[in-house]
Amino acid sequence: MPGRILFIDDDPAGREVALFNLRKAGYELAAAEDGAQGLSAFASSPFDLVITDLKMPGVPGMEVLRKIHGESPDVPVLVITAFGNVETAVAAMKEGAYDFIGKPFHRDQLLLAVGKALDRRRLAAEVRDLRIRASGVGRDVVSVSAAMRRLLEVADRVAATSATVLITGESGTGKEVLARRIHVRSLRAEGPFVTVNCAAIPADLLESELFGHARGAFTGAVRDRAGRFRQASGGTLFLDEVAEIPPTLQGKLLRALQERVVDAVGGDAPVPVDVRILAATNRDLRARIREGSFREDLYYRLNVVELAAPPLRERPDDIPPLVERFVSEFAGGREITVPGAVVADLSRRPWPGNVRELRNACERMVILCRGDEVSLDDLPPASRGGGTAEDASASFPPLPAEGLSLVDLEKRVIERALRMKGGNIAQAALFLRIPRHILVYRIGKYGLRRDA
DSSP 309: P
Classified by CATH at the fold level, domain 406-446 comes out as Arc Repressor Mutant, subunit A (1.10.10)
For residue 229, the model assigns a pLDDT of: 94
Q: What is the DSSP string of 122-159?
A: HHHHHHHHHHHHHHTGGGS----SHHHHHHHHHHHHHH
Q: How far apart are CA 46 and CA 52, in angstroms?
A: 16
Q: Which amino acid is at 208?
A: S
Distance CA 226, CA 102 (A): 46
What's the pLDDT at 398?
57
Q: How many angstroms separate the CA atoms of 176 and 180, rounded? A: 6
At residue 197, the 3 state secondary structure works out as strand
Instruction: Report the pLDDT value the prediction gives residue 451, as an integer from 0 to 100.
Output: 59
- Equal fold, 142-308 vs 406-446: no
pTM of the model: 0.63
* Phi, psi (rounded to 5 degrees) for 320: -55, -50
Instruction: Tell me which amino acid residue 421 is.
Output: K
How many separate helices (H) and strands (E) can be counted in the chain? 19, 12
Q: Is the peptide bond before 104 cis (omega within 30 degrees of 0)?
A: yes
Chunked in runs of 10, what are the mean pLDDT values of the chain (452 residues)?
Answer: 84 89 91 92 88 89 88 86 70 84 85 91 79 57 87 91 94 92 88 92 88 80 84 94 93 94 86 94 93 94 95 93 92 90 91 91 90 89 48 50 75 85 81 83 83 55
DSSP code string of 371-417: SSB--GGGS-GGGTT---HHHHGGGSPPPPTT---HHHHHHHHHHHH
pLDDT at 382: 58
User: CA-CA distance, 451 to 430, in Å (whole number)?
Assistant: 17
Gap between the Cα atoms of 113 and 78, Å rounded: 8
pLDDT value of position 383: 45
With vertex at residue 256, the alpha carbon angle to CA 252 and CA 249, rounded to the nearest 5 degrees, is 20
- Residue 248: enclosing H or E segment and its boundaries? helix 247-259
Q: Which residues contact 146 (CB under 8 A, 6 or more apart)?
A: none
Nearest-angstrom CA–CA distance, 46 and 5? 9
Q: d(Cα 200, Cα 317) in Å, to the nearest integer?
A: 33
The residues that bridge with 394 in the sheet, in sequence order, are none
Q: What is the pLDDT of residue 135?
A: 56
The CATH number, out of the four listed (3.40.50.2300, 3.40.50.300, 3.50.50.60, 3.30.540.10), of the domain defined by the range 4-130 = 3.40.50.2300
pLDDT score at 450: 66
Distance CA 392, CA 383 (A): 10
Q: CATH 1.10.8.60: does it fit domain 312-391? A: yes
- The rounded distance, in Å, linking the Cα atoms of 243 and 221 is 27
Domain boundaries, the chain: 4-130, 142-308, 312-391, 406-446
Whose CA is closest to 227, among 249, 248, 244? 249
CA–CA gap between residue 230 and residue 216 (Å, rounded): 19
Spatial distance between the Cα atoms of 31 and 15, rounded to a whole number of angstroms: 8
How far is 247 from 232, CA to CA, in rounded Å?
Answer: 23
Q: What's residue 381's pLDDT?
A: 75
Fold of 142-308: Rossmann fold (3.40.50)
